Chains A and B, each alone.
Chain A
Amino acid sequence: MSEAAAKPRTPNESGVPDHLQYMHPVLKRNLGKWDWHDRPRVGVLHHVSKTGDEIWTVRAGTQRQMDVYTIRKLCDIGDEYAEGHVRFTTRSNIEYMVSKEEMVEPLIKALEEAGFPVGGTGASVSMISHTQGWLHCDIPGTDASGVVKSMMDMLHHEFTHEEMPNRLRITTSCCQINCGGQGDIAINVQYTKPPKINHDLVANVCERPAVVARCPVAAIRPAMVNGKPSLEVDEKKCVCCGACYPPCPPMQINGEESTKIAIWVGGKHSNARSKPTFHKLAVANLPNNPPHWPEVAEVVKKIVYAYKENARHWERMGEWIERIGWNRFFELTGLAFTKHHLDTWTGARKTMNMSAHIHF
């Protein structure tokens, strides 16, 4: 063992790094001085400062989970066709800032030739924000990167064109914790069966009181099973949320057939026009079907194009549905409205129609 390993280095608790050291010089000298922007074409933002400075930004999609060769390729493009300064969006798109308009077209060409689609701006479908899935998560019900790759292949045209009524933001999450977050369309794992408990392991692996406390419907209680201290689940009460699984892996919530996909619609982060909203259930029980998840893709496609064809400019998914009513949403998408669409959680009555307003 080397001396360095024997005497560990004390960390420099430097915290959040200084962004200014990496920032494009035009951005740096125009901090807080920007005046307006426009989009000369899809994938390109053009910002003009009160000082007269201008900056062009070219946005391209990435696979988020990147090998060093991909990152170096993006850097090569940044050095040869841009000015060595990049940033990432919250949806893992890369942005190149350039100070000269004539750099934009060659940069776009270089990105597209290297296989990075240029787009994701304005009224487009941007990259899907997603989670870790089978690649790295300890509790995943499905993969994330694979679902995203399949969906973005299908929606490639909508990333590289601004033809939507407004921006359309899709998220995926590989368990019901929903790390992918709210979305106009959210593709989330939905468990359908109570956990299967390996009673031989519970006592050694799980802190039982913590697991009991974790259950949102108080369906878990301590029990002796085969002479061993374990836990049992009241399956009539269980809502199959999977909250017990992370603190107690022997309570396996995933099953080859029982882990399903649900699609939710109408979540919105922005305060523009309407207040932020949570996404709502559109359809559940779709099969978790790698590597292309075709049943999920079909539903996503229906929803995306129903929105594209029917919403008004600037209406987000949820605002469009609010206007046309859920009746028509289910009609236009060909999806079923079931008793499972009626919320049953605490405060659920506030989600019911407390008026005589009805859509025909």
Chain B
Amino acid sequence: MISKLDNALNFHQTALNVRAARQEVLSSNVANGDTPNFKARDIDFSSVLSDALSSNTNKTGLTTTSPMHLSSSSGNSFVSDALYRIPQQPSADGNTVEMDAERTRFADNAIKYDASMTFISGQIRGLMLAIRE
């Protein structure tokens, strides 16, 4: 029963996590809009989400026995899936942030994060209704 509840919410939970990671990457792009040689990055939402869903909810990390070991996942595993953007108009200082495009994606991602939260709330409401009946 509990696993059914977990399965019901798993998709949107993972989607929210990927959205949050993408929000972080996009905010880093905006913050570094004036940094020379900064390369803008982005997360391919659909491929990262399907990877995360197929690899059984959470990615399993390596066990490290020394602080000198390289960790397989550095805190947020989704952010490490970010790819470099191909700029349309790179600037002379080597910066590839296109502020208008970044702000558009940031707003788009925020709306979709909001949408995922609305879906998850609706699911919870449905489940609560089923429990009460």
Do these two chains really belong together in a complex? no
